[in-house]
Amino acid sequence: MLLPIILSGGAGSRLWPVSREALPKPFIALPDGETLLQKTLKRALALPGVEHILTVTNRDYYFLTRDEYESNADDAVAGRVVHDYLLEPLGRNTAPAIAAAALHASRKYGDEVVLLVLPADHLIKDQQSFAQAVAHAQALAVQGHLVTFGIQPTAPETGYGYIESGAALAGSAGNKVARFVEKPDLATAKDYLASGRFTWNSGMFCFTAGAMLAALRLCAPEVLAAVEQTFVATAFDKDPVVLDAASFAQAPDISIDYAVMERADKVAVVPVSFDWSDIGSWSALAELVAPDARGNRASCDAVLLDADNCFIQSDTRMVAAIGVDDLLVVDTPDALLIAHNSRAQDVKSVVAQLKLLSHATVHHHRKTHRPWGTYTVLEEGEGFKLKRIVVKPGASLSLQMHHHRSEHWVVVSGTAKVINGEREILVQRNESTYIPAGTAHRLTNPGVVDCVMIEVQTGDYLGEDDIVRLEDRYGRV
């Protein structure tokens, strides 16, 4: 049995201002309209015999992940594939995440189940070559190897770690791993490329659950012990399963490479030559857009005069550029990035500075996703905030109240069933209701189409933390 493990998390800070903590890299739409998470799921589902998918992600991303999967579902596939989730209360790097996946898979399917670990933020277009590489890795995994996939380098890349291949493994398409090496400088990367012995470390792995648990027990016992204790304290009768926070927080914050792959004995690499990218910067994402005659790439309405080798992306606005070269311009409703092409990797430094300032653009977009739908902040000022709220059919906001703000709801389309204090009313299109501060209230969409409304907040404090949830079907505190 082959069980794909999709690891979905990470802020993707080099793709700010589109990738943010509340909507990280796996969820951002590529130029073709699909997200990296959707593409990863499709890639896993296309493998022969896959009937179960285990996704390990942060609990804050569960509903967003579920929605992405449902929007990506093919009816024929959806009927045969079972989705399972392990939700992390906080990020502790890839070693605890993979340890949790291996332990869960071992208990549910047995030690011999083969796990295929796929980060959710990789892009691979050649499905046939990918499937062939997985088959080679699976054959090695059933022999007890911990297998990694090495990407044949096309350039002396300094942004990736490398794997040095050792002796060929008889009767297979793999090699022993001689060593893992960190991101090199340019001169070293050129030497690696010239030698022909080195591949890029893709971060994809294949092994049996039993082999990984044995390697963890030998190489990183503190990681496995923390995860085992987490499982003891976790309520596995709940759906989805949320790992116990106090126990999981004790797990070391360490990658699977450091914890296991660099220390274990029976480690193999399958060299592969299919196209691969972790979309680690705006330069990488720009490559997905076809260039014009002067090397400019625009994924929006743009006018470029006497401009060369620029990338332009905007959510809503027309962008004009005149007499500029080698620029990255990424425009969102509340943040604008302008950078030289050669400084694409330095976007993460901007995010670090914004974190020090506790700036809102690190975490949220103006359009924020919730389990019930979305809200978009249209405008805000002293004593007021204006939102557009979309509630999915059958979905419901929490029963809540606010200490500091009053709200006026105007339904634009659809129907809202509203609890407003002691009353329950239906609010139709072009109708409204007023909710004073301190009043318990809830909105449910009883219809079969989205309910869209405008919310006008007034008060002396309008922060999102002024929400007292009295009851919530999504388990939020």
- What confidence tens digit (pLDDT) does each residue in 305-317 have? 999 999 999 988 9
Please say if the pLDDT value at position 477 is more than 80.
no
Range of the domain at 413: 367-471
**Are residues 390 and 445 both part of a single domain?**
yes
What is the band of 98 on the pLDDT scale with cuts at 50, 70, 90? very high
- How far from 228 is each of 49, 89, 209, 250, 254, CA to CA, in Å? 30, 16, 14, 11, 16
Within-domain flag for 123: yes
355: exposed, middle or buried (Cβ count in 10 Å: 0-12, 13-18, 19+)? middle
CB 289 within 8 A of CB 297: yes
What is the band of 475 on the pLDDT scale with cuts at 50, 70, 90? confident
Residue the block writes with tokens 């399917």: 109
**Are residues 157 and 293 both part of a single domain?**
no
CATH of the domain at 397: 2.60.120.10
Instruction: In whole angstroms, give the CA distance from residue 72 to residue 90.
Output: 26
pLDDT, tens digit, 9 for 90 and up, residues 117-176: 999 999 999 999 999 999 999 999 999 999 999 999 989 988 889 999 999 998 888 999
Q: Residue 158: its pLDDT value, please?
A: 86
End-to-end CA separation in angstroms for the chain: 38
What is the band of 434 on the pLDDT scale with cuts at 50, 70, 90? very high
Within-domain flag for 147: yes
Within-domain flag for 477: no
Share of the chain above pLDDT 70, in %: 98
pLDDT, tens digit, 9 for 90 and up, residues 375-406: 999 999 999 999 999 999 999 999 999 999 99
What is the band of 80 on the pLDDT scale with cuts at 50, 70, 90? confident
pLDDT, tens digit, 9 for 90 and up, residues 282-309: 999 999 999 999 999 999 999 999 999 9
**Are residues 26 and 162 both part of a single domain?**
yes
pLDDT, tens digit, 9 for 90 and up, residues 204-263: 999 999 999 999 999 999 999 999 999 999 999 988 999 999 999 999 999 999 999 999
Neighbour tally for 127: CB within 10 Å = 13
The pTM score is 0.90
**Are residues 288 and 140 both part of a single domain?**
no
Nearest of 341, 365, 361 to residue 353 by alpha carbon: 361
CB 53 within 8 A of CB 4: yes
- In 14-107, where do the E strands start and end? 52-58, 82-88
Please say if the pLDDT value at position 75 is more than 70.
no
Instruction: In whole angstroms, give the CA distance from residue 320 to residue 185.
Output: 37
Please say if the pLDDT value at position 417 is more than 80.
yes
Within-domain flag for 360: no
The number of folded domains in the chain is: 3
Within-domain flag for 422: yes
Phi, psi of 371 (to 5 degrees): -55, -30
CB proximity list for 26: less than 8 A, separation 6 or greater: 8, 9, 10, 12, 35, 36, 37, 40, 120, 121
Please say if the pLDDT value at position 109 is more than 70.
yes
Last residue of a domain, one of 327, 351, 375: 351
**Are residues 197 and 108 both part of a single domain?**
yes
Sheet holding 335-340, edge to edge: 297-298, 311-314, 327-332, 335-340
**Are residues 184 and 297 both part of a single domain?**
no
Q: Residue 73: its pLDDT value, please?
A: 62
pLDDT, tens digit, 9 for 90 and up, residues 320-351: 999 999 999 999 999 999 999 999 999 999 99
**Are residues 260 and 296 both part of a single domain?**
no
**Are residues 186 and 218 both part of a single domain?**
yes
- In 59-182, where do the E strands start and end? 82-88, 114-119, 146-151, 162-168, 175-181
Last residue of a domain, one of 233, 250, 272: 272
Last residue of a domain, one of 272, 307, 336: 272
Please say if the pLDDT value at position 197 is more than 80.
yes
Instruction: In whole angstroms, give the CA distance from residue 457 to residue 81.
Output: 43
Q: Residue 9: its pLDDT value, please?
A: 79
Please say if the pLDDT value at position 11 is more than 80.
no
Report, as an integer, the average pLDDT of 8-32: 91
CATH of the domain at 106: 3.90.550.10
What is the band of 81 on the pLDDT scale with cuts at 50, 70, 90? confident
Q: Residue 74: its pLDDT value, please?
A: 63
Q: Residue 77: its pLDDT value, please?
A: 59
**Are residues 210 and 266 both part of a single domain?**
yes
Instruction: In whole angstroms, give the CA distance from residue 332 to residue 351.
Output: 15
**Are residues 401 and 297 both part of a single domain?**
no
Q: Residue 394: its pLDDT value, please?
A: 96
**Are residues 90 and 113 both part of a single domain?**
yes
Q: Residue 78: its pLDDT value, please?
A: 56
Within-domain flag for 42: yes
* Average predicted confidence (pLDDT) for the chain: 94
Report, as an integer, the average pLDDT of 428-440: 97
Within-domain flag for 114: yes
**Are residues 144 and 213 both part of a single domain?**
yes
Within-domain flag for 277: no
